[in-house]
Amino acid sequence: MPTTPLHHTATDWGIVAVFAIVYLGMFLGGLPRLKLDRSGVALLGAIAVIGLSGLPVEDAARAIDLPTIVLLFAFMVVSAQMRLGGFYGAVTRRVGAMPLSRNGLLAALIVVSGALSAVFSNDIVCLAMTPVVARLCLQRGLNPLPFLIGLACAANIGSAATLIGNPQNMLIGSVLQMPFAGYVRQALPPVLIGLVLLWVWLVYGPGADAGTGSPHSRPLPEGEGAMRGEVVAEEPPFDSWQTAKGLVVAAALMLIFLFTDWPRDVAALVGAGLLLLSRRLHTSHFMGLVDWPLLILFMGLFVVNHAFETTGLAAQAVAWLGAQGVHLADPGPLLVASAVLSNLVSNVPAVMLLLPHLGGSAERAGVMLALVTTFAGNLLLVGSIANLIVADLARQQGIVIDWKRHAITGIPVTLLTLAVVWAWMRFVA
């Protein structure tokens, strides 16, 4: 059915220009000649569209999906509790002390990284585990590259297993109101198969013996490499009480998500509040580990995308694609669009662009969107923050993970895991 053409004003085209500049910034990681990262670009973009359109601040605030922001913040606090308790490093050291062969140790680390990332932030897991894994490999005389690349890839793959494993999944689950248990049932099999394929490639693929790391640490020059301020921080010593406290809250939240209808954002916020009630850990310690730039990125993109939607151009583009027989909610187009956009503008902006256009089968399409945008992060070294965190921290140990070394594993593993998602969603789920 033909749609009535929309007449676009100068304001509309101004908003389109801001939208294009913002997503150029997402692609480049900032804007040329300006000291802006993605969060700064999104924030300035939101300010620009509010100024251009005269959008009331109250309306701009309503464009932000508050449950997503609350859920993301709450789980940053939970992850901070686990890191401050030294949990991640202790688990990694415990695995490293086990009498395992090289391939057995690799399998164990992949399982641990994937499992922890399904419950806690994949970025935090990589942040805490990378230095321990690097030192472990150097001490045992093992080539650290497969272990470190495997850590990053497993964290990305494992984080897709739940609606709390990474920011884009939180967004999808919140906006589409997806049931937690139902999502896990559909997503867990491709995730488990993906982790197995990752192990097989690292053990038998051409990257298994490619390159070695120097046992001598080479500290990074100041300001080089670190994706976030806490990247260079030392892992805290293990604290059994703080770890137990965090694990109890995390386990309680998982049970609530799986077996009750209590809103996830409310439950997570209550859990975070309980963790903040501490006699030993100051609130500033938690707040220092909260990724405020990521929260700003989310809020800025919500406002920019809302302004762009009001121009009607997105709806017109989707309608035109539909007239050509390309429907974004269909598995094939959605897989291609999700994978391409995730590597062009990063997974969170890609999800924000695609979410409004999933059509009637939103829940099924939401599962595919979550899996594909997460798995696609393994394609290139710059495809996910987790990859960059591992590369930065490895370099501080004198181990260089450049894009070529990452691509030996990242490209084939991504293609294999995306094929698994396609087959699973097309023929099984």
The pLDDT assigned to 232 comes to: 43
**Prediction pTM value:** 0.86
Cβ neighbors of 212 (< 8 A, separation 6 or more) are: 143, 144, 145
- Token readout for 165 is 């494993």
Structural contact between residues 186 and 420, judged by C-beta atoms closer than 8 angstroms? no
Exposed/middle/buried for residue 33 (C-beta within 10 Å: 0-12, 13-18, 19+): exposed
- Token readout for 74 is 């709450």
Residue keyed to tokens 């294999």? 416
Structural contact between residues 242 and 81, judged by C-beta atoms closer than 8 angstroms? yes
- Token readout for 198 is 């990752």
Residue 217 DSSP code? -
Structural contact between residues 418 and 375, judged by C-beta atoms closer than 8 angstroms? yes
Residue type, 156: N
* pLDDT tens digit at each of 429 positions of the chain: 444 455 678 888 999 999 999 999 988 888 988 898 989 999 999 999 999 988 899 999 999 999 999 999 999 999 999 989 999 989 999 998 888 899 999 999 999 999 999 998 888 899 889 999 998 998 888 999 999 999 999 999 999 999 999 999 999 999 999 999 999 999 999 999 999 999 999 999 875 654 444 444 444 333 333 344 444 446 778 889 999 999 999 999 999 999 998 999 999 999 999 999 988 888 998 999 889 999 999 999 999 999 998 888 888 888 888 788 887 878 888 899 999 988 888 888 999 989 888 865 678 889 999 999 999 999 988 888 888 889 988 988 888 888 888 999 999 999 999 999 999 988 876
Residues, the chain, total? 429
Q: What is the DSSP string of 370-387?
A: HHHHHHGGGSSGGG-HHH
State the CB neighbour count (10 A cutoff) for residue 231.
18
Please report, for the chain, how many H helices and E strands are present, in that order.
Answer: 20, 0
The pLDDT assigned to 325 comes to: 80
Q: Please tell me the distance from the alpha carbon of residue 248 to that of residue 63, in angstroms, as a whole number.
A: 34
- Token readout for 249 is 């809250």
The pLDDT assigned to 156 comes to: 95
Q: Please tell me the distance from the alpha carbon of residue 51 to that of residue 53, in angstroms, as a whole number.
A: 6
| Closest C-alpha among 214, 216, 193 to residue 145 | 214
Three-state secondary-structure class, residue 112: helix
Exposed/middle/buried for residue 155 (C-beta within 10 Å: 0-12, 13-18, 19+): buried
Three-state secondary-structure class, residue 141: coil
Report the first-to-last Cα separation within the chain, whole angstroms.
Answer: 31
State the CB neighbour count (10 A cutoff) for residue 261.
9
- Token readout for 324 is 């050509």
Cβ neighbors of 188 (< 8 A, separation 6 or more) are: 161
Q: Please tell me the distance from the alpha carbon of residue 397 to that of residue 395, in angstroms, as a whole number.
A: 5
Cα distances (angstroms) measured from residue 84 to each of 48, 77, 240: 38, 10, 11
| Closest C-alpha among 303, 222, 239 to residue 58 | 303
The pLDDT assigned to 229 comes to: 40
Q: Please tell me the distance from the alpha carbon of residue 175 to that of residue 195, in angstroms, as a whole number.
A: 28
What kind and span of H or E run contains 409?
Answer: helix 403-423
Q: Please tell me the distance from the alpha carbon of residue 232 to that of residue 246, in angstroms, as a whole number.
A: 23
**Which segments of 120-236 does DSSP mark as H helices, in order?**
122-140, 144-159, 167-176, 180-204
